[in-house]
Amino acid sequence: MPESITKVVKRNGQVVTFDKEKVVNAIFKAAQSVGGKDRRMAEILAEKVVHHLALSKKPPALPSVEEIQDIIEKELIEEGHARTAKAFILYRADHAKLREGQDRQANATSGNIPYKKIWQVLNWSIDHDCFSIAKINERIAKGTYPQLVTEVTEKYQADVKAAAEKVLARKDEVRIVIIAGPSSSGKTTTTIKLEEQLKAQGFELLAMNLDNYYFDLSHHPKDEFGDYDFETPEALDLALINRHLAELLEGKTIQMPRYNFKTGKREEKTDPLTLKPHQLLLLDSLHGLYAPMTQSVPASKKFKLYIESLCQIKNTDGEFLRWTDVRLLRRMVRDSWHRSYNPKQTLEHWHYVRRSEIQHIIPFVGTVDHIVDGSLPYELPVYKKHLFHHFPEFVKEYREDPKRQDAFIRAKRVHDMLAAFTQWDDENVIPKDALIREYIGGSIYKY
């Protein structure tokens, strides 16, 4: 018997743990695209791929991702799965083009998150012994987790203060401050914190939450799963937003709508809003950077702030955790108590969130005036307490469902990530005004 494969070389040269489940997923997704529904067959084919891989690679030689994909193609063809093989070949070609585009974008000066910002976050994480799951677990074991909470809180506060100083430097022209970012990045808390900073300098602020401008859910089409897609900027009444912004800058009073997330409808009651000469209007919106959102306002009158969880934590394989997985956990916790969504619904809806972020948020990051890091290296041990018990069930349920393979892959990845963390139960060590309170509750702020 050949020795089993335990490690694989990624395209960037990094050596990581080999996961046969990824081979199964790749085959099953290709089969699914041509009407296949038998995951067990994908598992059988994956076993053959692994066997041939072990025969072709003698220790200490390690297989590469490309070599694994070559064997998958060969196995599919030899086993008579021509249509699935074709789908897999096209999948590889599409992703190769996508990687080329990502490389070009990463090298462009107008790329998404500036490298300098990422480096600052990583450097801070290294200096504070929280750059890996192992290091965070070690801090819990040593009893320095509460100190980590304090350190992270101070870092976040300093970042928001830096943003406030930039606004003040343009106080003679700026009338609107836009706080934007992907779902559950910390927009609302950051808006409140920025308001506190500016008020300390004698400015009166006026908050305008664009979430109130959602159309009623009944106006939105449903997909094959019965889900509403209200993650696009077109789910908001853009015409009304622009008219109201223009009227506010003209000194007029508008009637701002109220949106009820539990009913999915605007309420009959509205709130009058007037922007006075000594006030700044704060916009907290998922899509604040989307140009049509504020096209009625001259660029010189806008200050754009972007917030993202720039998490720089490595897993047990030395790979950085995905920012979107952290934000998914935040949203799952928050939705369960604040918006009447259970964690399962949030997970199944996440593909809409990601699609909207990629299309309508990420492309505009290069236009912002300041980026706030909303990552909290201490938060994942807390989310393990709230959510980990759900994930074995999610993984089991989605595993055999051809229509939910994206949810399965995501659930499995997050399950494995949370499993590696030491759970933290005592939330009393977390300040009542901390950003994480936006999700777990217990904040002094009202959201």
- The per-residue pLDDT for range 152-181, each reduced to its tens digit, is 999 999 999 999 999 999 999 999 999 999
Question: Do residue 117 and residue 81 come from a single domain?
Answer: no
Question: Do residue 206 and residue 314 come from a single domain?
Answer: yes
Q: Is residue 361 part of a domain?
A: yes
For residues 135-144, one letter each, b for 16 or more C-beta atoms within 10 angstroms of the residue's C-beta and e for the rest, the string is: bbeebbeeeb
Question: Do residue 21 and residue 123 come from a single domain?
Answer: no
Q: Is residue 445 part of a domain?
A: no
Q: Per-residue pLDDT for 98 more than 80?
A: no
Question: Do residue 143 and residue 87 come from a single domain?
Answer: no
- Domain-terminating residue out of 56, 76, 104: 104
Question: Do residue 50 and residue 147 come from a single domain?
Answer: no
Cis peptide before 392 (omega within 30 of 0): no
Q: What is the pLDDT of residues 234-258, one digit of tens each?
A: 888 999 999 999 999 999 999 999 9
Q: Is residue 446 part of a domain?
A: no
Q: Is residue 173 part of a domain?
A: yes
Q: Is residue 325 part of a domain?
A: yes
Q: What is the rounded distance in angstroms from the CA atom of residue 88 to the CA atom of residue 76?
A: 9
3-state DSSP call for residue 114? coil
How many structural domains are present in the chain? 2
Q: Per-residue pLDDT for 405 more than 90?
A: no
Q: Is residue 175 part of a domain?
A: yes
Q: What is the mean pLDDT of residues 293-298?
A: 94
CA angle at 125 for the pair 117 and 146, rounded to the nearest 5°: 130
Q: What is the rounded distance in angstroms from the CA atom of residue 178 to the CA atom of residue 306?
A: 8
Average pLDDT, the chain: 88
What is the reported pLDDT for 83? 86
190 and 434 Cβ atoms separated by less than 8 Å = no
What is the reported pLDDT for 2? 54
Q: Is residue 2 part of a domain?
A: no
Question: Do residue 118 and residue 150 come from a single domain?
Answer: yes
Distances (CA, A) of 231 to 251, 360, 366, 390: 31, 10, 21, 24
Q: What is the pLDDT of residues 215-240, one digit of tens each?
A: 888 776 555 566 666 667 888 899 99
In the chain, pLDDT over 70 holds for what percent of residues? 92
Question: Do residue 226 and residue 145 come from a single domain?
Answer: yes
What is the reported pLDDT for 389? 95
Angle between helices 187-199 and 145-169 (to 10 degrees): 60
Domain coverage including residue 97: 7-104
Question: Do residue 126 and residue 14 come from a single domain?
Answer: no
Cα dihedral angle (217, 221, 222, 223), rounded to 10 degrees?
A: -140
Q: Cβ-count burial of 371 within 10 angstroms (0-12 exposed, 13-18 middle, 19+ buried)?
A: buried
- Domain-terminating residue out of 104, 128, 153: 104
Q: What is the rounded distance in angstroms from the CA atom of residue 291 to the CA atom of residue 308?
A: 19
Residue matched to tokens 């139960």:
425
Q: What is the mean pLDDT of residues 128-137?
A: 96
Task: Tell me the H-state helices in 112-222.
Answer: 115-127, 133-142, 145-169, 187-199
Q: From 290, 307, 284, select the one nearest 113 (Cα to Cα).
A: 307
Question: Do residue 134 and residue 40 come from a single domain?
Answer: no
Distances (CA, A) of 104 to 130, 301, 352, 382: 31, 32, 26, 37
What is the reported pLDDT for 88? 82
Q: Per-residue pLDDT for 336 more than 90?
A: no
CATH number at residue 261: 3.40.50.300
Q: What is the rounded distance in angstroms from the CA atom of residue 379 to the CA atom of residue 418?
A: 11
Question: Do residue 278 and residue 355 come from a single domain?
Answer: yes
Q: Is residue 447 part of a domain?
A: no
305 and 370 Cβ atoms separated by less than 8 Å = yes
- Domain-terminating residue out of 51, 71, 104: 104
Question: Do residue 94 and residue 127 come from a single domain?
Answer: no
49 and 75 Cβ atoms separated by less than 8 Å = yes
Question: Do residue 393 and residue 288 come from a single domain?
Answer: yes
